[in-house]
Amino acid sequence: MDTAESGCANGRERRWVWVTAALIAVFLATAVTSRKNFFQNSKKACELAYSDKYTGIVEDCSCGYETVDSLNEELLHPILQELVTTPFFRYFKAKLWCDCPFWPDDGMCRLRDCSVCECPDNEFPELFKKPFAGLSTDDLICQEGKPEAVVDRTLDSKAFKGWVVIDNPWTNDDETDNDEMTYVNLQLNPERYTGYVGPSARRIWEAVYTENCPRYPSGEICPEKRVLYKLISGLHASISVHIASDFLLDEATNMWGQNLELLHDRVLRYPDRVRNLYFTFLFVLRAVTKAADYLEQAEYSTGNPEDDLKTQSLVRQLVYNPKLQAACPVPFDEAKLWKGESGPELKQLIQKQFRNISALMDCVGCEKCRLWGKLQVLGLGTALQILFSVNGRDHVNQPLQMQRNEVIALVNLLNRLSESIIFVHEMGPSTENIMKSQTSSPSRKSPA
């Protein structure tokens, strides 16, 4: 073969090599794209299947699931996360050791994380030690002419200085007994898995549900009792979410992480628990926004002017946010409750049941669990007091007043619920997909 033919043949061979390489590249790119699209489509299908369970308006509320997720992720969660780290909202006052009024306390937790790190006197703000006097009766705006069974949708917006010392009629603890109470830095005592399991832990929830807020058959429960049940169920779900999101995976190496199996078994496999979580969040959010003027004008004094101004600014951002007011102006309509002649009696009954639930927190055998149980039940009790405070403490002319500890509990509770909704929204679809793939596996174990 001459040089020209040889060069031409080599050129054809090179072209075939390039064509073949190009075809292989196209094939590989198509395969990779198809594989990528397959996984993206599978993930999208999983998310759509999960979201189909939670669409439309949250039952007994005025906002939808999608709205809650969007507002919480973009607006509320970032503000709350910063707010609870401020000195004012970081320190909670609680009775950590009390005798159980219902049965001998035999509950024990097996982890050192069960114990609470109490604050030394020099850690928390000096101003917290000094009780503030409330306003005189002359400074309060009277709520006259209100029928007892009608819910007042407004609050006294008159500015006040200092915090009152007064018991919440919805809760059991005597917040004014400072000798038996101690300050706890919540940032140093996160709500997480503690090893508090077994009969003692189950007995607490059984007493809560069976004796104080039983689940009635469909159609046999009035709206007010349904609200109490859903609040407790939503709080229970939130606590389970926090245990699952911060779980001791390996005690030997002290490795902590997410327990998605527990999240599924205790919360996600029961859609009503997820729905009640959203309901409780909106209920507490309504209480916070209803008390907007009160909270905005409160005195957040810790002795550090810079921190205190930041706290007040964050509170304003939370309670007066235009996006929240536009998207979900009335998260829960409390005016629908306590209608008719039996309204006052029904309120007293449910108030008594919630006080029993509050008292049950003294029966929790784990110190850290008791701390967070007391805080969150006090937060719920404060929300109930705000929304159903037409008579104050059964005194017609006494508008709402709150203790500092109640405001701290209310905001921290809203943050806990916000965190739970974030975690469920982000991890729910993938968790359910993982659990479905494991249902056929005989080696699947039950969570601790």
Q: What is the pLDDT of residues 240-257, one digit of tens each?
A: 999 999 999 998 898 999
Q: How many other β-carbons are positioned within 10 Å of the β-carbon of residue 90?
A: 21
Task: Tell me what pLDDT residue 146 has.
Answer: 32
Distances (CA, A) of 339 to 21, 223, 334: 78, 10, 11
Q: How many of the other CB atoms lie within 10 Å of CB of 232?
A: 23
Question: What tokens appear for 299 in the block?
Answer: 């005195």
Cα dihedral sign, 64-421-93-363 = positive
* Better-predicted residue by pLDDT, 266 or 445: 266
pLDDT beyond 50 at 219: yes
Helix pair 404-438, 223-245: axis angle to 10 deg: 70
Q: Are 204 and 100 in contact (CB under 8 A)?
A: no
- Would you call 369 a catalytic residue per the annotation? yes
Please identify which of the residues 61, 109, 363, 369 carries the catalytic annotation: 369
Confidence of residue 101 (pLDDT cuts 50, 70, 90): confident
User: Is residue 2's pLDDT more than 60?
Assistant: no
Helix and strand numbers, DSSP H then E, in the chain:
14, 4
**pLDDT higher than threshold 90 for residue 1:** no
Model confidence pLDDT, tens digit, residues 273-316: 999 999 999 999 999 999 998 899 888 988 888 999 999 999 99
Q: Residue 95's closest CA among 408, 355, 363?
A: 363
pTM, two decimal places: 0.77
Q: Is the pLDDT of residue 261 over 70?
A: yes
Q: Is 440 annotated as a binding residue?
A: no
pLDDT in tens, 326-342: 999 999 998 888 777 67
CB 170 within 8 A of CB 392: no
Query: Is the pLDDT score of 125 beyond 80?
Result: no
Which range is least confidently modeled, 139-143, 222-226, 309-313, 440-444? Answer: 139-143
Domain ranges (residues) in the chain: 1-52, 62-438
pLDDT band at 349 (very low <50, low <70, confident <90, very high): confident
Of 384 and 40, which is predicted with more confidence? 384
Give me 120's structure tokens. Answer: 């030394």
Give the Cβ contact number of residue 340 at 10 Å: 9
Both tokens assigned to 128: 């917290």
Is 192 annotated among the ligand-binding residues? yes
The packing angle between helices 343-360 and 223-245, to 10°, is: 20
* Phi, psi for 94 (deg, rounded to 5): -150, 155
Active site residue 366: yes
Task: List Cα–Cα distances, 167 to 235, 245, 289, 402, in angstroms.
Answer: 22, 34, 22, 9
pLDDT digits (tens, 9 = 90+) for 77-94: 999 999 999 999 998 888
Share the mean pLDDT of the chain. 76
Residue 145 has pLDDT above 90, yes or no: no
- Residue 121, pLDDT > 70, answer no
Q: What is the pLDDT of residues 159-173, one digit of tens each?
A: 233 466 667 778 876
Beta bridge partners of 318: none
Is 233 assigned to a binding site?
A: yes
404-424 pLDDT, tens digit each: 899 999 999 999 999 999 999
Residue 275 labelled as part of a binding site: no
Name the nearest CA neighbour of 384 among 338, 438, 443, 431.
Answer: 338
In the chain, the percentage of residues whose pLDDT exceeds 90 is 36
